[in-house]
Amino acid sequence: MQLSIIGSGHVGLVTGACFAEKGHDVLCTDSDAEKIEGLKQGTMPFHEPGLEAMVRRNAEDGRLRFSDSVAEAVTLGQAVFISVWTPPLPSGRADLSYVEKVSREIAENLPENEHRLVVEKSTVPVRTGERVLRTIERFAPKGRDYDVASNPEFLREGTAIRDTMEPDRIVIGADSEKARALLERIYKGFPGERVFCDVRSAEMIKHASNAFLASKISFINAVARVCEKSGADIELVARGMGLDPRIAPSFLKAGIGYGGSCFPKDVSAFIDIARELGYEFRLLEEVQRINREMRFHFVDRVEKELWNLRDKPVAVLGLAFKPDTDDMRLAPSVTIIEELLKRGAHVRAFDPVTIPRAREAMQDLQPQESLAFCNTVEDACKGAEAVLLVTEWPEIVGADWKKLRTLVASPTLFDGRNALDRAELQAAGWTVNGVGTGQ
Ligand code: UGA
C-alpha cells in the first residue's frame, strides 16, 4: 500500500522505515527541509541502532522516499499517519498546535473521488481524534471521503526497530469498519496481538500505558529509598517482586528516575487531561515528585560521602537519558550536573554518542568553566574524587575499572543505575554506592 508519514521524528521515521521494510511504499515528510535533504543523502537526524541501514536499504529499493510537502503526502498516501511533536506547554498540557496545523493542511489537500485514512500516531490526549475530524470537516473541500483513526506507537528509543517490527500489541482505534479494515491490511505482515477499539480508548491506552510504566519506576524508586534506610537491597527486592507474573520484572529497575521525551511529558499531560475532565490524578503527581527527587537525592548522597563538593573533581559517565540514544531531552544528567556545579564541584562529563547535544543542553549551567566534556571514560575519571555512573551505556559498564581505579584520586563510585557488578568492583578496590543498596 502507499502510505505517508507526516513528521519524521523518532516515531515517524522508524514507523515509515519499518512499513517500507514490510513492503509498503512509504513517503516520509517533515516540515524541516534540511532534515529531509539530509535523509535523502542518508544522514539520520538522530541516533537509533539499525535505522540508518534500514532507511538506506529501503530508499535504494525505491520503497522509502522523503519530501517536505504535506500536499504530496496526502495526494499519494492511502493512509496518512500524523506523527508530529506534541511538546508540553508550561502548564504540562500537550501543545496540539502542530497536530492542528497538519490536520488543516491534510484537509486542504484531500483528493477528489478517493478515500483517505488519517491516522493519529503521535501521543495525544483523549478526544483529539474528534478535534482532528472537526478540523478536517471545516477545511476540506465539499464531498471528500476520509476517516480518522488512532494507532498509538509503543516503541522505545534505542530498541525502536525491534519494538516496531515485533510489537507485543497493535492498537487499532477506529470508529468505522472501513478504517479498521485498512489498518488491519497495513499491519498484515506484523506480529503481535491486535486490540480493536474506538478512537477514544486507543488514545487513552497510550497515555495510561506510559503513566503506568512511569508509576512502576517511581514505585520501585520509593522502595529503594526505604531499602537505603533499612539495609535491604533493592536489586534483590525487585527480583523477588518481579517473579510474580502479576508484577513482572520489567520497569522495576531502581535508579535516578525516568527522563526522555515521553514519560515526563506524558505523565504531565495525563494529569492535565484528567483535571480537565474533572478528576485530580494525585497518584501521578506523586509519581512526578518521587521522580524529581531521585536526582537530588543522588547528589545528596555524593555530597554526604565526600563531606563537601567544593572544588572537587567529579566524573559523570553517561549523559543521554538512556543508552543507545543521543536524546538529551529531560535527561537526569542535566539536573545532576546542574546540582553538582551549584554545590561547587568540577564536573568532567563523558558520553559515547551525545556530547554535542549535551553541550547544547547544558550551555546555560553555571559556572560553565567548572564543566568539561571528555572524549573518553579515562579522561573523565582522571583525578576524580568520585565517579558517577548516570547512563548505563555498555561502553561505560564494560570499561576497564581496574585501570580506572589507578586514574582516580579516590575510588568512590556512585552507580545511578545499579548496572555494575558490585562484587567485582569492590574486589578491584572501589567503594560502590548503588541506588537502594548499601556498600
Ligand atoms: C517510552 C515507553 O517505554 C515506550 O513504550 C513509548 O512508546 C515511548 O516512551 C513513547 O511514548 O514514545 P522511551 O522513553 O524511549 O519509551 O524509553 P524507556 O525505555 O521507556 O525509558 C524511559 C526512562 O525510564 C529512561 O530514563 C530509563 O532510564 C528509565 N527507566 C526505565 C528506569 O529508570 N527504570 C526502568 O526499569 C525502566
Average pLDDT rounded to a whole number, residues 93-107 = 96
**Each residue's pLDDT tens digit, 398-434:** 999 999 999 999 999 999 999 999 999 999 999 999 9
The active-site residue, picked from 18, 262, 374, 381, is 262
Distance CA 222, CA 225 (A): 5
Closest CA to 150 of 198, 193, 194, 187: 198
Ligand 1 atom closest to Cα of 392? 28
Helix ranges restricted to H, 22-143 = 33-40, 51-60, 70-76, 97-108, 128-139
Average pLDDT, the chain: 97
- Can you tell me which atom of ligand 1 is nearest the CA of 156? 15
Burial of 342 (0-12, 13-18, 19+ CB in 10 A): middle
β-strands 25-29, 2-6: how paired?
parallel
Task: For residue 77, give the amino acid letter.
Answer: G
Phi then psi for residue 359, to 5 deg, are -55, -45
Angle at 152 between CA 151 and CA 154, to 5 degrees: 135
Q: Ligand 1 centroid to 108 CA: how many Å?
A: 36
**Does ligand 1 lie within 6 Å of residue 157's CB atom?**
yes
DSSP SS3 for 148: strand
**How large is the average pLDDT for residues 236-256?**
98
Q: Which three cell numbers stand for residue 368?
A: 560553565
For residue 127, give Cα distances in angstroms to 52, 109, 204.
35, 23, 9
- For ligand 1, say whether the CB of 210 is within 6 Å of any of its atoms: yes
The alpha carbon of 154 and the centre of ligand 1 are apart by a number of angstroms equal to 10
- Which residue puts its alpha carbon closest to atom 18 of ligand 1? 156
Distance (Å, whole) CA 345 – CA 110: 58
262 is catalytic: yes
- Indicate the pTM of the whole model: 0.96
Which residues have a Cβ under 8 Å from the Cβ of 93 and sit 6 or more positions away? Answer: 268, 269, 272
Please tell me the residue having the least CA distance from ligand 1 atom 17.
156
Residues pairing with 433 in the sheet: 414
**pLDDT at 438 (0 to 100):** 61
Count the helices and strands in the chain (H runs, E runs).
18, 14
pLDDT > 60? residue 439? no
Dihedral Cα 34, 39, 40, 43, nearest 10 deg? 100
- Model confidence pLDDT, tens digit, residues 22-65: 999 999 999 999 999 999 999 999 999 999 999 999 999 999 99
CB-based contacts of 282, cutoff 8 Å, min separation 6: none
